């Protein structure tokens, strides 16, 4: 169990520059769906082996590595697949998700937050939170507060990841960009160590539009923040990270933009070295140059 008497520091999941260059590998049912899309019927053992391969290839370069307890956490930790310079982040979210569909809702994972769960080696826990403009907004703020409190009680960093979705029946009038900013104003004040946020405009805007959108988002966030890659094409992600960092972000915590197109490859180890490692190296160069160090926020 981490030492809860000492306040945790983002140094544990940061680069020497103060930037954050972290790999997400906590996908569960969605990873099964990605395998199926690639023509592979994957079982639990296949998911675990994929995650271990990603940890071996990308973990030594990353400042942090996020994984779930169901598929591979024990082996990543116990087999010491990550160097001491890479902080281990554990997903602490229980997902409400139909097979093949998006995550509909989340809660705190009672397994990870049980008193007897072994958190040895863990630097941070992460909560995915689905934000909607509906009657449960106050409940979600309370969930975020309970999460940050649970992390602090365990001497761990808290990574809060709101993902916005339209309220039921309001899909046609949903304004994603406004929702991302509103959620940030509402949720980034709960005391989290790090705020993980969707890229504005899906990273696709031309000209200065993306820079302006990222700056508007920065105005809404309290504390250090990083971007995720969900919804952003791999080819657009480096520019999206650069725009976010110019606006005040401290880096990224990304999965799909790094490794999605090697899912199902028979030559996985080679594919990771040829495709994913160069992508991660490029992103590291970007954040070391452009990111706002986490302790400058």
Residue 2's pLDDT is: 61
| Gap between the Cα atoms of 93 and 236, Å rounded | 28
| Gap between the Cα atoms of 90 and 112, Å rounded | 8
pLDDT in tens, 66-76: 999 999 999 99
Residue 6's pLDDT is: 65
Residue 202 reports pLDDT greater than 70: yes
Is 25 strand, coil or helix?
strand
- Residue 3 banded pLDDT, cuts 50, 70, 90: low
Instruction: Give the end-to-end CA distance of the chain in Å, rounded to a whole number.
Output: 29
Is there a domain that residue 110 lies in? yes
Which CATH number covers residue 124? 3.20.20.70
Is there a domain that residue 24 lies in? yes
Residue 258's pLDDT is: 98
- Residue 169 banded pLDDT, cuts 50, 70, 90: confident
Residue 255 reports pLDDT greater than 90: yes
pLDDT in tens, 87-136: 999 999 999 888 878 888 999 999 999 999 999 999 999 999 999 999 99
Residue 99's pLDDT is: 82
The token pair that represents 221 in the structure block: 């966030």
Q: How many of the other CB atoms lie within 10 Å of CB of 9?
A: 13
Domain limits for position 84:
10-296
| Gap between the Cα atoms of 18 and 248, Å rounded | 13
Residue 48's pLDDT is: 98
DSSP states of 193-239 as a string? SEEEEPPGGGG---TTHHHHHHHHHHTT--S-EEE--TTS-HHHHHH
| Gap between the Cα atoms of 237 and 204, Å rounded | 9
Residue 8's pLDDT is: 79
How far is CA 117 from its chain centroid? 22
Is there a domain that residue 270 lies in? yes
Residue 100's pLDDT is: 79
Mean residue pLDDT across the chain: 96
Cβ-defined contacts of 150-155 (< 8 Å, 24+):
150/92, 150/108, 150/113, 150/125, 151/8, 151/92, 151/124, 151/125, 151/193, 152/4, 152/191, 153/4, 154/1, 154/2, 154/4, 154/119, 154/125, 155/1, 155/2, 155/3, 155/4, 155/5, 155/6, 155/8
Residue 35's pLDDT is: 96
Instruction: Clarify whether 196 is annotated catalytic.
Output: yes
* Average pLDDT estimate for 7-11: 86
* Average pLDDT estimate for 159-179: 95
| Gap between the Cα atoms of 42 and 31, Å rounded | 9
Is there a domain that residue 29 lies in? yes
pLDDT in tens, 11-53: 999 999 999 999 999 999 999 999 999 999 999 999 999 999 9
* Count: domains in the chain: 1
Is there a domain that residue 95 lies in? yes
Q: How many of the other CB atoms lie within 10 Å of CB of 254?
A: 29
Is there a domain that residue 164 lies in? yes
* Average pLDDT estimate for 54-71: 98
Residue 190 reports pLDDT greater than 60: yes
Instruction: Find tokens 């809860």 and name the residue.
Output: 4
Which of 51, 126, 196, 204 is the catalytic position? 196
Is there a domain that residue 1 lies in? no
* Average pLDDT estimate for 128-148: 97
How far is CA 71 from its chain centroid? 16
Is there a domain that residue 284 lies in? yes
* Average pLDDT estimate for 167-186: 95
């Amino acid at each position: 169990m981490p030492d809860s008497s000492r306040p945790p520091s983002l140094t544990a999941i940061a680069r020497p520059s103060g930037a954050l260059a972290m790999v997400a590998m906590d996908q569960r049912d969605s990873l099964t769906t990605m395998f199926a899309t690639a023509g592979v019927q994957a079982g639990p053992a296949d998911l675990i082996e994929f995650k271990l391969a990603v940890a071996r290839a990308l973990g030594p370069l990353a400042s942090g590595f996020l994984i779930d307890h169901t598929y591979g956490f024990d082996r990543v930790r116990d087999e010491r697949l990550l160097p001491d310079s890479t902080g281990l982040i554990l997903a602490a979210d229980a997902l409400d998700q139909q097979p093949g569909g998006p995550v509909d809702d989340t809660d705190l994972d009672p397994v990870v937050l049980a008193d007897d769960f072994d958190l040895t080696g863990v630097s941070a826990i992460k909560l995915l939170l689905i934000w909607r403009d509906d009657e449960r907004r106050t409940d979600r703020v309370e969930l975020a507060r309970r999460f940050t409190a649970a992390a602090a009680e365990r001497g761990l960093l808290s990574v809060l990841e709101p993902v916005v979705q339209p309220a039921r029946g309001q899909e046609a009038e949903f304004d994603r960009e406004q929702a991302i900013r509103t959620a940030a104003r509402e949720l980034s004040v709960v005391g989290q160590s790090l705020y993980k946020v969707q890229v504005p405009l899906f990273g696709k805007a031309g000209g200065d539009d993306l820079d302006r959108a990222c700056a508007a988002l920065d105005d809404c966030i309290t504390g250090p923040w990083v971007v995720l890659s969900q919804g952003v094409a791999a080819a657009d992600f480096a520019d999206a990270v650069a725009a976010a960092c110019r606006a005040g972000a401290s880096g990224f915590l990304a999965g799909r933009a790094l490794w999605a197109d090697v899912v199902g490859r028979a030559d996985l180890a080679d594919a990771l070295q040829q495709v994913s490692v160069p992508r991660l190296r490029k992103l590291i160069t970007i954040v070391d140059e452009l990111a706002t160090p986490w302790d400058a926020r």
